[in-house]
Structure 1
Amino acid sequence: MRRRATAAIATAAAFSAVLAVAALAAPAAGAGQDDSGTKFWNIDVNHDRDYTVGVEAARKRVFSVSATVTDPSGVQGVSYELWHGTERAKADGVMTASSHCVKLNETTSFCEALLTADPNVNLRSNALAGVWILTPVATDGAGNVTRGDGAYFARIKRQTYMSQTVATPQTVKKGQNLTVKARMTVASWEQRKDVPLIGHQVVLQYRKGTSGPFTTLKKIKTDRNGWATTTVPATADGSYRYDFATTSLTQATTGSADYVDVK
């Protein structure tokens, strides 16, 4: 058996969103050329278009990683490495798993694995939130090993939560101010519990009546206890809710709406 250099890698669509940290994992200029013919196609992480996995404070999260793998001599097996850091040798977080491969034809297999992100094992620091580099490792029909370094990634994020939105008073006169509040928390892998999400922007949204789209009324930052609080004039019967957009480290979330009768 011989170990091959980085495999040729292709996708159905260009990975324009690959971050700079992924580039650090790519082979240096002048590295040995791959002559294996092994290719990894259509890599999928968690069946999510942004390759994102949200992880709670103290509960492990099992998620899938898959690829279509082809080699002229066939595919014997594939495993996946997911690691965090600027280079694999100094990674401060690692997840690995062997895949189950289904043979599509003599040269091509679909290989899927289940990886586990666990705050009690491999996510003990909040600093591990963000981009993780994904390296598929294939063994072809002749026993040669090929690593697909530097082209794929996953986003491992801290799960966020928005409480039920509360608008007061109920009922309210038209033109009277409503106070609208909700609380945001985020998973702390270090503390194994949810903690206030402090100083992050959320948007207050409103939907007139009982159907139709929500529109944004205001942008507000959460306070030191995670609360978003603001006032708005009541104009018509409708629902209010807070929405939090994703960041590079935290998942997006939307709170449940509160319906208000306006007299």
Structure 2
Amino acid sequence: MPTRITAAVCGALTLTALAVPAAHADDDGTRGAYRAPGLGRAAEAEAPYDLDVTFSAVKVAKAVKVGPTGHHSTTVTYKLTHGADVDITAEDFLTGPYLYRGAYGSPDNTLFGNKPATCTATSATTAKCTGKIDVYPAQGDLLNSEAGTWKGAALAIAYNGQDPDGDDFDITKVGYADQGALATTKVQRASKLTVNASPEPVRKGRTLTITGKLSRANWETRKYAGYATQPVKLQFRKAGTSTYTDVRNVTTTSKGELKTTVKASADGHYRFTFAGTGTTPAVNAKGDFVDVR
């Protein structure tokens, strides 16, 4: 019996055109409750057989930066190895990657793709597959607390002519393979950083006030919000040069705001730069040019 029937119940939907996505919240309030007709129903009593398929060489981006709304997607490639009796060219053979957070056997959350992966045979029993992970934060795909490290996995389903919606659907004739801990990535709350230097222009030796704000996606309110008490560096690039140099460290307020002062010395650009954290990517503000007279 497959080690994770739950993945078939929760993930098979995104790999097949035979099913229609349920709402992102069940009646009991749980999120990401995808259901594959027949597969989930029959799994209560019986199970698909172990499909002779394994996965390896999974490659995914080091980080998936997700804003507060919209559609966010990342590509995953992997090697699929199968038995000689598995027909990966069949119309009802489906495979795809997914990400999960927490324990493989009982994940806190999973993220799948909208469509099955596409595979190209590289030998009689191997194929190179390419799929996507699709994320819709405004539809409840993520909680803020879920930012951080996720693991990569892949699954495959061979329906073998079985119709999940048919009255004579026999799940024991469906093959299923699921494998976790194949890669790691970070699912991060997208960040923004602004800067403004004033007054402009300014006389040499006068005081410049540099302000800005560091914010990151809040997946629950669907907006950007200030990132509190974070270390940020103020940098300066003299006109005619291409390199920024550090000026001083500044810490964001409880609202993510930044403020500091410097003495105007020469024409150039000021910017704030944030090194990032495990939950939030690094970001640079677009430099603000100051004309010193």
TM superposition score normalised by structure 2: 0.68
CA deviation map 1:140-185 (0-9, x unaligned): 9x9975543224122111011112x211122223222211111121
CA–CA separation in structure 2 for the residues paired with 1:262 and 1:84? 51
Structure 2 gaps, min length 5: 5-51, 89-93, 161-173
CA–CA separation in structure 1 for the residues paired with 2:157 and 2:137? 31
Structure 2 counterpart of 1:44, one-letter code: K
CA–CA separation in structure 1 for the residues paired with 2:232 and 2:259? 10
**Residues 26-105 of structure 1 aligned to structure 2 (within 5 Å):** 38-41=54-57, 43-45=58-60, 48=61, 50=62, 52-71=63-82, 73=84, 76=88, 78-85=95-102, 87-97=103-113, 98-105=116-123
Give the aligned CA root-mean-square deviation in angstroms.
2.6
Match of 2:260 in 1: 230
Structure 2 counterpart of 1:114, one-letter code: K
- Conserved? CA contact 1:93–1:122, under 8 Å: no
Runs of 4+ in 1 over 6 A off after TM superposition: none
Over 3 Å counting, the alpha-carbon distance change for 1:90 and 1:249 in structure 2 is same
C-alpha displacement of 1:92: 2.2
- Conserved? CA contact 1:75–1:107, under 8 Å: no
CA–CA separation in structure 1 for the residues paired with 2:259 and 2:250? 8
C-alpha displacement of 1:39: 4.9
- Secondary structure, in 3 states, of the residue corresponding to 1:127? helix
CA deviation map 1:34-76 (0-9, x unaligned): xx794512x222xx3x2x1111112231222111334463772
Match of 2:242 in 1: 212
Match of 1:11 in 2: none
Match of 1:17 in 2: none
- Conserved? CA contact 2:234–2:271, under 8 Å: yes
Structure 1 gaps, min length 5: 6-35
Higher helix share: 2
Match of 1:161 in 2: 192
CA–CA separation in structure 2 for the residues paired with 1:150 and 1:114? 17
CA–CA separation in structure 2 for the residues paired with 1:116 and 1:254? 26
CA–CA separation in structure 1 for the residues paired with 2:55 and 2:186? 23
C-alpha displacement of 1:122: 4.6
C-alpha displacement of 1:120: 3.1
1:172 maps onto 2:202 in alignment: yes
Structure 1 counterpart of 2:137, one-letter code: P
| Count of residues in Structure 1 that have an aligned counterpart in Structure 2 | 224
Q: For structure 1, which segment, 110-119 or 120-129, has the greater mean C-alpha deviation from structure 2 after superposition? A: 120-129
- Secondary structure, in 3 states, of the residue corresponding to 1:172? coil
Match of 1:191 in 2: 221
Over 3 Å counting, the alpha-carbon distance change for 1:37 and 1:137 in structure 2 is closer
TM superposition score normalised by structure 1: 0.75
Over 3 Å counting, the alpha-carbon distance change for 1:90 and 1:149 in structure 2 is closer
CA–CA separation in structure 2 for the residues paired with 1:57 and 1:79? 25
Structure 1 counterpart of 2:135, one-letter code: A
CA–CA separation in structure 2 for the residues paired with 1:196 and 1:237? 30
Q: For structure 1, which segment, 241-250 or 115-124, has the greater mean C-alpha deviation from structure 2 after superposition? A: 115-124
- Conserved? CA contact 1:205–1:242, under 8 Å: yes
C-alpha displacement of 1:205: 0.9
C-alpha displacement of 1:121: 3.5
Match of 1:127 in 2: 145
- Greater C-alpha radius of gyration: 2
- Secondary structure, in 3 states, of the residue corresponding to 2:272? strand
Over 3 Å counting, the alpha-carbon distance change for 1:69 and 1:75 in structure 2 is farther
2:179 to 128, 143, 148: 148
